[in-house]
With several copies, the nearest count.
Chain A
């Protein structure tokens, strides 16, 4: 199994969720993160004190899937999250050795 971590723009979340549903993916975990990268941050000025906000709000989606689904999933996320603008984000693939469902103790693919 692999964990796919996708860092996307917050307003793309709904689209990505639907895209994954189309693949029959029943679960995912998201978190609010802040991203630093090519996308320039904006500046904020409070009474003349100027701060560059270069950590930009992003959503991180974590979804664990069977190894053989990885490419589809990546493709789906890409097309859904893509706005063609700098800062659309990244997708990382990380190995997962085990998965367990807390409630039942089911293992691996059955746990997803």
Chain B
């Protein structure tokens, strides 16, 4: 309960007699500070997709596919933006139907007005904040499949996946669905965003098959500099992602902010040293990857754990991420192009478990983990992880099958793949630097 609310309860009591009081009572609970913070958080999370992720992914994809990666990222966010206000929000946050999905009451946001409030902020802001999560989640998936997918197929996949995979899971966890009722802890999206996107990416990449020349040809990232900048912007935006998930500008938001930054820093440090030790060189790509690994892992835990937990979560994330992308992947032999599964899926999984282990009631009475005497929480986390992974795996399979049928084939022509998707799909080049 926030300050001004208290103020107002108090006031309404005293001022019951004043004419203004009623007017006052109505919009009583809008808090301009919380609203300011949430509009900014939303803007920050929005920026993560077309700026942060486009650079992070674009810089890692081969030069001939850089713009295609941009195009897929941009359109993921654009399509999600429209889908969300039309149908997505209501499916995720409409009145609960059997714990599984939201009702259609808010289709086209009907019945939500400028005056509607969610907690202490305008409902419109809440809708948009949630929308930015839908937008980045589907965009994260493409990390597994750049360099080979037909643009048309991607657009259809994005549309179907947002509606049929993202919305239900968002409802389960945040929309009052069964996971919420079960008491699963996911502050800012370990399940909903990262495990979900990571597993979907893996499935999609398996169905697409490997890139031509994978394992044989050299596949240099087009620009580690752009990837580094992307990681920096993702970090910047992630403060909105995690601290914003408190939906208020208060102490818990500050705490989420603190652990988010700490975990990101630890992730970068541990990834770098692990890599340095194992492959003899600390790379900028490794540092950037470690930052993201740390951020992903702290996401579900941000509002529940304390500083010392965040140091451990980030530390483990850096090592885990490195092992997944540089060992596991090559052992398993799938072609998760930019490691959406290795980084987001696996570190999201670690974060979800860590939440069940480290959740400290002193930070947030809403969550008590194993270390604070509640082993049950860890169990709940495992169930929620399994359910999320299971649903998204099967669901994505179906969505991909439909997409393949509808766009006859998911993959670009062999020659187009060799020539590069920038040229074949978009008829453009990322840079035209010719001296004169």
B301 to chain A, nearest CB (A): 25
**Residues of A within 8 A of B (CB-CB), count:** 15
Contact assessment for A10 and B436 in the assembled complex, using a CB-CB cutoff below 8 Å: yes
Known: A10-B434, A14-B217, A32-B435. A48 touches B427 (CB 8 A): no
Query: A46 contacts which chain B residues (CB < 8 A)?
Result: 220-221, 283, 285, 428
Query: B427 contacts which chain A residues (CB < 8 A)?
Result: 42-45
Which of B218, B327, B434, B435 sits near A48, CB closer than 8 Å? B327
Query: B418 contacts which chain A residues (CB < 8 A)?
Result: 11
Scan residues 22-79 of chain A and give those whose CB is less than 8 A from a CB of chain B: 32, 42-49, 51, 53, 57
Task: Name the CB-closest residue of B to A47.
Answer: B325
Known: A44-B427, A44-B428, A48-B325. A11 touches B283 (CB 8 A): no
B222 to chain A, nearest CB (A): 11
Contact assessment for A48 and B217 in the assembled complex, using a CB-CB cutoff below 8 Å: no
**Residues of B within 8 A of A (CB-CB), count:** 26
B422 to chain A, nearest CB (A): 10
Task: Name the CB-closest residue of A to B327.
Answer: A48
A20 to chain B, nearest CB (A): 17
Contact assessment for A42 and B423 in the assembled complex, using a CB-CB cutoff below 8 Å: yes
Query: A14 contacts which chain B residues (CB < 8 A)?
Result: 217
Which of B217, B281, B339 sits near A47, CB closer than 8 Å? B339
- In the bound complex, how far is the Cα of B279 from the Cα of A59, in angstroms? 30
Query: B279 contacts which chain A residues (CB < 8 A)?
Result: 45, 48
Query: B217 contacts which chain A residues (CB < 8 A)?
Result: 14
Query: B286 contacts which chain A residues (CB < 8 A)?
Result: 47
Scan residues 318-353 of chain B and give those whose CB is less than 8 A from a CB of chain A: 325-327, 329-330, 339, 342
B304 to chain A, nearest CB (A): 30
Instruction: List 11 interface pairs A-B (beta carbons < 8 Å), by A numbering.
Output: A32-B434, A42-B427, A44-B428, A44-B429, A45-B281, A46-B283, A47-B286, A47-B329, A48-B325, A48-B329, A49-B330
18 additional contacts (CB under 8 A) given A46-B221, A51-B220: A11-B436, A14-B217, A32-B434, A44-B427, A44-B428, A46-B220, A46-B285, A46-B428, A47-B285, A47-B286, A47-B326, A47-B329, A47-B342, A48-B329, A48-B330, A49-B219, A49-B330, A51-B219
Q: Report the 9 A-B pairs with minimum CB-CB distance, sorted nearest first.
A: A48-B326, A57-B435, A51-B218, A10-B436, A47-B325, A45-B279, A44-B427, A11-B418, A47-B326
